[in-house]
């Protein structure tokens, strides 16, 4: 193992010391904001001397990985990764999106953290419309990239935003015309997940769970452990949906930034509640009862017939994934105004599950599939088009299907039809 040496650079954010192992440079957990209180609006971090040699995964921070020899005038493409986690957990120090493979291809990787839970996504009466502190944190992080990434060898005018799950939801929200500030040129959104109801519709439920008014002052005064217990009670009342997150989603509000949408064919087959239902002899009847509460507005029997053709033993698991993720992929694909492409991941070794694509796209997983997909992501970050037909209602809704086991890719027409017809926007 090559010993790591300290490396120091100067940028508008201050003097930052990271690690250089001869192949990559890593700068861990750099603070990009100042947050005066959990429920307060954040501001820019002031210039400072920063020790970025050790990960601090619980911090609201970002980490940067670059090729070891990167210089300020290299103008390397930049990928900014926004983690998922139901808007409740997750960290910028996500090993599934490690930047080493990207660095080997001449790409700078930024992993961006943000406030989650009520601190990031509860809304108060004085908040601006459609704004969330967790998403505003990401906006500040992107501004940090614009001001500082050149010192790390990156090109601030060539940033690709990659979000997965809740991170994909955030990436799409940042694409909205009322949020987009030109800080990125293109987006990859993998399995976005929006709540079906906005926070205002659930505010009374949260008030009952906490036993306090939902105000900035009241939540700030609650002891952390008591707040966690209250949130768990609130979440249990919304078990068929995301408890938190930006809503409602409207793809027509997006700017015309080039967009790649991806989903897993079997997103939440492994969800314990779905597994339990699917093991019962009356699973189809249970799924019928759950369909409407989980957002199905089209013919339930039609969706069931299509789901049985894919896997008759995983109806509940499929309903969870279609309700939580694939409906939003379908809607965004139909409504996004800019050039849009779509991918669907499958697997021959068991179901293709939520989050399974991340280590392949970032080259953390070894093997030919990761080599193929990490190369594709690096090319997309350089500005190369994905390499297959754009997704469009007028041209057959072409989707590139990728088998994570065999690394074979083939274009198919409209695999999300069953989802689109079941979940009307």
Q: Which residues pair with 20 in a beta bridge?
A: 5, 25
Mean pLDDT of 347-372: 96
Mean predicted confidence (pLDDT) in 101-124: 98
Q: Give the model's pLDDT for residue 278.
A: 94
pLDDT in the model for residue 425: 77
Measured from the Cβ of residue 229, the count of other Cβ atoms closer than 10 Å reads 14
pLDDT in tens, 318-349: 999 999 999 999 999 999 999 999 999 999 98
pLDDT at 240: 87
The string of DSSP codes covering 5-42 is EEEEEEETTEEEEEEE-SSEEEEEEE--EE-SSTTSPP
For the stretch 242-258, pLDDT in tens is 999 999 999 999 999 99
Q: Is the pLDDT of residue 80 over 70?
A: yes
Q: Is the pLDDT of residue 1 over 70?
A: no
Between 314 and 1, residue with greater pLDDT: 314
What confidence category does residue 237 fall into, taking pLDDT thresholds of 50, 70 and 90? very high
**Total Cβ atoms within 10 A of residue 264:** 26
Residue 381, Cβ density class (10 Å: 0-12 exposed, 13-18 middle, ≥19 buried) = buried
* Averaged pLDDT, 276-301: 95
Given a cut of 80, whether residue 37 has pLDDT beyond it is yes
Q: What is the mean pLDDT of residues 201-209?
A: 96
As to burial, measured by CB atoms within 10 angstroms (0-12 exposed, 13-18 middle, 19+ buried), residue 382 is middle
pLDDT band (50, 70, 90) for residue 412 = very high
Classified as helix, coil or strand, 243 is coil
Mean pLDDT in residue range 53-80: 98
Query: pLDDT tens-digit profile of 368-400?
Result: 999 999 999 999 999 999 999 999 998 899 999
CA distances from 142 to 73, 81, 220, 325, 366 (A): 20, 11, 27, 25, 30
295 Ramachandran zone, left/alpha/beta (phi>0; psi -120 to 50): left
At residue 239 the predicted structure's pLDDT band, cuts being 50, 70 and 90, is: confident
Burial of residue 336 (CB within 10 Å: 0-12, 13-18, 19+) is: buried
Question: Considering only CA atoms, which of 94, 114, 180, 109 is closest in space to residue 149?
Answer: 109
> Looking at the predicted structure, is the pLDDT value of residue 35 above 80?
yes
Band of residue 3 on the pLDDT scale cut at 50, 70, 90:
confident
| Mean pLDDT, residues 283-308 taken together | 96
Confidence check: pLDDT of 2 > 70: no
**Mean pLDDT for the chain overall:** 97
Are 31 and 140 in contact by the 8 Å Cβ rule? The answer is no
Instruction: Say which residues have a Cβ less than 8 Å from residue 332's Cβ, sequence separation at least 6.
Output: 172, 189, 192, 249, 251, 254, 259, 261, 340
CB distance 230 to 209 below 8 Å = yes
Instruction: Yes or no: say if 173 and 97 are a contact pair by the CB < 8 Å rule.
Output: no
Q: How many CB atoms lie within 10 A of CB 366?
A: 11
């Amino acid at each position: 193992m090559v010993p790591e040496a300290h490396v120091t650079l100067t940028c508008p954010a201050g003097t930052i010391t990271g690690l250089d192992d001869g192949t990559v440079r890593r700068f861990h957990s750099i603070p990009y904001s100042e947050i005066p209180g959990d429920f307060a609006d954040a501001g820019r971090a002031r210039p400072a001397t920063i020790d970025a040699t050790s990960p601090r995964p619980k911090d609201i921070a970002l980490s940067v990985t670059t090729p070891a020899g990167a210089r300020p005038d290299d103008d390397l493409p930049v990928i900014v990764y926004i983690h998922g986690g139901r808007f409740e957990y997750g960290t910028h120090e996500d090993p599934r999106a490690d930047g080493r493979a990207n660095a080997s291809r001449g790409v700078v990787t930024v992993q961006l953290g943000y406030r989650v839970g009520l601190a990031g996504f509860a809304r108060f009466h004085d908040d601006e419309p459609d704004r969330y502190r967790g998403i505003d944190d990401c906006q500040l992080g992107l501004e940090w990239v614009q001001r500082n990434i050149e010192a790390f060898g990156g090109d601030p005018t060539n940033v690709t935003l990659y979000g997965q799950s809740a991170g994909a939801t955030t990436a799409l929200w940042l694409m909205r015309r009322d949020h987009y500030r030109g800080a990125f040129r293109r987006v990859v959104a993998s399995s976005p997940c929006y709540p079906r109801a906005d926070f205002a519709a659930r505010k009374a439920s949260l008030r009952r769970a906490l036993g306090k008014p939902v105000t900035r002052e009241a939540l700030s005064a609650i002891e952390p452990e008591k707040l966690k217990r209250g949130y768990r009670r609130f979440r249990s009342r919304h078990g068929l949906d995301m408890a938190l997150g930006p809503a409602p989603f409207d793809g027509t509000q997006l700017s015309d930034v080039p967009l790649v949408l991806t989903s897993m064919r079997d997103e939440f087959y492994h969800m314990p509640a779905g597994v339990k239902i699917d093991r019962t002899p009356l699973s189809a009847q249970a799924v019928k009862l759950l369909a409407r509460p989980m957002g199905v507005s089209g013919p339930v029997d039609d969706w069931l017939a299509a789901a049985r053709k894919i896997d008759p033993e995983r109806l509940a698991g499929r309903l969870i994934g279609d309700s939580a993720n694939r409906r939003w992929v379908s809607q965004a694909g139909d409504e996004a105004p800019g050039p849009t492409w779509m991918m669907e991941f499958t697997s021959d070794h068991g179901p293709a599950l939520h989050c399974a694509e991340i280590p392949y796209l970032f080259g953390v997983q070894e093997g030919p599939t990761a080599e193929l997909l990490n190369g594709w992501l690096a090319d997309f970050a350089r500005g190369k088009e994905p390499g297959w037909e754009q997704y469009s209602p007028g041209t057959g809704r072409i989707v590139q299907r990728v088998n994570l086991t065999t690394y074979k890719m083939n274009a198919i027409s409209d695999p999300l039809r069953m989802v689109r017809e079941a979940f009307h926007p």
